[in-house]
Structure 1
Amino acid sequence: MVKVQEFEKLADIKVNKLIENSSQLTLQANHLEESVIKELTESSRKENANQDKIDLANEKLSRLIEILKVIAAEQDKLGQVGLKCRVN
């Protein structure tokens, strides 16, 4: 009878320790999950900001190309006028 009680007491101690360790693991897992979510959110925010910068740079490049096309067309017109003046 004494051995059964000792076994039950030992089993209770081990079960309680298992519950305590399980609770600690759950807390650590929750903290880790929060940390990972925070990092992913920050990374996503930075990626979106970088994409916005890329989009703005592309828009500026497109405008610059259009301006250069207009300048080239005007220079071409001036070149043709200059040739006509020389011919005449």
Structure 2
Amino acid sequence: MDGFGGWYEDFWKLSTERQIGFGVGPIPGSAIDRHIAGWSYEDAEVFEFCMREMDGVYLMKNNKSEQAPPTASPRDAFRSATSGRRR
């Protein structure tokens, strides 16, 4: 959208605040809150929504979350994990 090109740059600035460990973490909410301090409610809401959407795509690509889902159902996984505890 026209006028929002700067938000792309803001995304990369805010990305420097993420935690990095076994994978890349999300942009901390505190970093976004500091960035939007003093903005109108509507602008702040739209900005945060856009940052979270962009961050979700970034995390999915960076942390390779596009893997196939596990073949076992959650019920079967639970039963397998707790089978030694049942009588």
TM over 0.5: no
- The higher-RCO structure (CA 8 Å, 6+ apart) is 2
TM-score (norm 2): 0.28
**Larger radius of gyration, structure 1 or 2?**
1
TM-score (norm 1): 0.28
